Each structure stands twice: as C-alpha cells, then as structure tokens.
C-alpha cells in the first residue's frame, strides 16, 4: 500500500442512495444511460466511484455512492437533471491496485481501512470518501475482473519529539 496525493478535479456525477454493490450498480447505470443519451461516452477520460457513509459530512451526502466521470472537454458536457458537475475531493490517500470483480471492491476497501487504522504513521480521514479509480470501465453484470486503484483518505500523524 502506497501513498498518493489526488488533486481536486472537476467531474460530472450522479448519486445513488445506499452503500455497496447495489448502490454502485444503480449509480453507474444512470451514468452509462446519460453518457449514451448525450452521445459523449467517447469523451470520458477517467471514471471514479465515491462511497460516503451516513456518518460523514453531517449527512450532506448521507449514505450514498457517487459515480463520477472526468470528461475531456468541459464545454462538451450537456446539462442534465440526473448528472451534475461537481468536484472530486483531493488530498492524501493510501492506494492499492485491485484487479478483480467489482463486487469484491467493498471487501477490499474494508481490508485497506483496517490496515490504515493499524498503521502508526497515518490516521483515517473520515471527512472524505473512499475513491475507486476505474482503470477499466466498471462492469457489474459479470464477474470479469476490472483494474482499479482503491484510495482510502488518510492524514499523516506527527511524530512526538
């Protein structure tokens, strides 16, 4: 597990209530449908999945999954009520490469979070979501493996002098 710094990015996103695979499937289906309707699927450069828990951000996002896409030309993004422009939160993240079926991403995040909590150099940052950076398009209908980077938000701890 390594550390990376993610810069904030402008993304187009859609939300689905709940957590885990069911919420991810719903959010990505909405995103896929919107990209196809607007004929802009070819402009997508990167796909991100964000998972917020109910106890994060004082309920602003609540318990939800957010499917986000970075689009190569912001001017090419047609407005829609079901997808909106937002910002991907930046900061320090613990990163691990994951290759496997999408339904195994949630258990992999759980394992990573346990590892981060046990690490004496880092503290989990509950104010930001866990982020899946999809290096392959998300595929939930089959057990085909996808390549992703799993990002768990962290803050570094200062060593006592």
How is the chain split into domains, by residue range? Answer: 2-156
∠ CA 111-46-42, nearest 5°, is: 145
When pLDDT is averaged across residues 107-123 and rounded to a whole number, the result is 83
Give tens-digit pLDDT for 129-139: 889 999 988 88
- For the cut 70, the answer to whether the pLDDT of residue 67 exceeds it is yes
Give tens-digit pLDDT for 2-42: 889 988 888 888 888 877 788 889 999 999 998 888 888 88
When pLDDT is averaged across residues 47-56 and rounded to a whole number, the result is 72
Round the average pLDDT of the chain to a whole number and report it.
81
Tokens 């939160």 belong to 89
* Fold designation for 2-156: Multidrug-efflux Transporter 1 Regulator Bmrr; Chain A (3.20.80)
Q: What is the pLDDT of residue 54?
A: 47
The Cβ of residue 67 has, within 10 Å, a number of other Cβ atoms equal to 29
When pLDDT is averaged across residues 71-92 and rounded to a whole number, the result is 73
- Cα dihedral value 11, 13, 17, 18, nearest 10: -50
When pLDDT is averaged across residues 104-120 and rounded to a whole number, the result is 84
Alpha carbon 29 to its chain centroid, in Å, reads 15
């Amino acid at each position: 597990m390594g550390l990376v710094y993610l810069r904030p990015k402008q993304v187009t996103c859609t939300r689905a209530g709940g957590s885990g695979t069911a919420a991810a499937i719903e959010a990505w289906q909405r995103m896929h449908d919107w990209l196809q309707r607007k004929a802009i699927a070819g402009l997508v450069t990167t796909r991100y999945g964000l998972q917020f828990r109910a106890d994060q951000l004082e309920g602003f996002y609540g318990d939800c999954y957010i499917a986000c896409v970075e689009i190569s030309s912001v001017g090419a993004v047609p407005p829609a009520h079901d997808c909106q422009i937002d910002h991907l939160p930046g900061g320090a993240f613990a990163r691990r490469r994951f290759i496997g079926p999408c339904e195994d991403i949630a258990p992999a995040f759980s394992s990573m979070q346990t590892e981060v909590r046990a690490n004496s150099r880092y503290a989990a940052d509950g104010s930001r979501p866990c982020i899946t950076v999809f290096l392959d398009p998300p595929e939930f209908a089959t057990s085909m493996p996808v390549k992703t980077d799993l990002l768990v938000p962290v803050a570094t701890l200062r060593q006592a002098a």
